[in-house]
Structure 1
Amino acid sequence: MALNDDIRLLSQLPLFNGMSEDQLRLIAFGADRRTISQGQMLFREGSPAESAYVVLSGTVELSRTGRDGQPEVHANVGEGTLLSELALVTLVERKFTAIAKEDAGVIRITRSLFHRLIEEYPEAAFLIEARIRDNIAALAAKAAAELHRFS
């Protein structure tokens, strides 16, 4: 996939939507492109997440360990999916195991690359802060709407 294709795909992701072409170019150019073969693990549940991944092509299965110790499929995701978004901001553990269901292309965005974006383009930090604030407000509204279930 060409750099311009990566930039276009990044611009469609909620986290990066509205960023300038220069900001997106920094991410697209600095990200690692990888091909994951069918059946290959991208990351394991519980491991430290120091990067996020964008699925460029193919399908990736997300599973987590169930109560019986067996993996339970949570979702199958494809092109345009951002995995482990929170890892760009802070150290977290992976919530799922990600395995390629078919050959897949991904780009890996490291936390240090994301921090570089924020350092070089402070306006991007304000945009991201607003997105995080909106996401938290939406989550709080959903939780408030469910309070009646616990009364």
Structure 2
Amino acid sequence: MALEDDIRILSGVGLFSELTDEQLRLLAFGAEEVRFAAGRVIFAEGAAAECAYVVASGRVVLYRDGGGEAVALSRLGEGSIIGELALIAPGKRLTYAAAETDVIAIRLSRSLFHRILEEYPEVAARLHARMLRDLEEFLKRIETIAPRFAD
């Protein structure tokens, strides 16, 4: 894919909505295009999370181990980001991802993302505010369904 295609795809990802065209260009320039054949595992549950992927084409399924059986949690297509928490901090994958169809993805490393945040601290501040809003909304949704799980 061309650099302009990567920039277009990255610009549609909510996490990167605060980035300028110049910053998106830097992100795209430092990213890596990767391809996965249908059925191939992209990352395993419990593996070290060192990068995120943005689906450029194709469809990815996220699975979780449900007592020795794979349980599909969601299907993601073009413009979806997978494993975005890996961009912020080290951790383990909470799911495993597999290509449902042939997939082209944009691989973004944590070190690349951190370099952009260090070079543009205003982006880091806006990202922090956005993540805080997202977390607050998530907690509100949990509060609304929590009574269903009470004893």
TM-score scaled by length of structure 1: 0.93
Equivalent position SS for 2:78: coil
- Hey, what does 1:92 align to over in structure 2? 91
Contact 1:11-1:18 within 8 A present in 2 as well: no
State the Cα deviation string for residues 38-66 of structure 1 (Å, max 9, x = none): 22111001101010000100111211111
| Matched length | 150
Gaps of 5+ in 2: none
Q: RMSD across aligned C-alpha pairs, in angstroms?
A: 1.4
Q: CA deviation at 1:109?
A: 0.5
- Hey, what does 1:28 align to over in structure 2? 28
Runs of 4+ in 1 over 2 A off after TM superposition: 143-151
State the Cα deviation string for residues 11-56 of structure 1 (Å, max 9, x = none): 1111001310111111101011111112211100110101000010
Which region of structure 1 is more displaced relative to structure 2, 94-103 or 106-115?
94-103
Contact 1:35-1:103 within 8 A present in 2 as well: yes
What letter corresponds to residue 48 of structure 1 in structure 2? A
Contact 1:42-1:98 within 8 A present in 2 as well: yes
TM-score scaled by length of structure 2: 0.93
- Hey, what does 1:117 align to over in structure 2? 116
Q: In 1, distance between residues paired with 2:71 and 2:140? A: 29
- Report matched runs for 1:1-151 at 5 Å: 1-67=1-67, 69-149=68-148, 150=150
Q: In 1, distance between residues paired with 2:143 and 2:59? A: 35
Percent same amino acid among aligned pairs?
A: 43
Q: In 2, distance between residues paired with 1:99 and 1:143? A: 28
Gaps of 5+ in 1: none
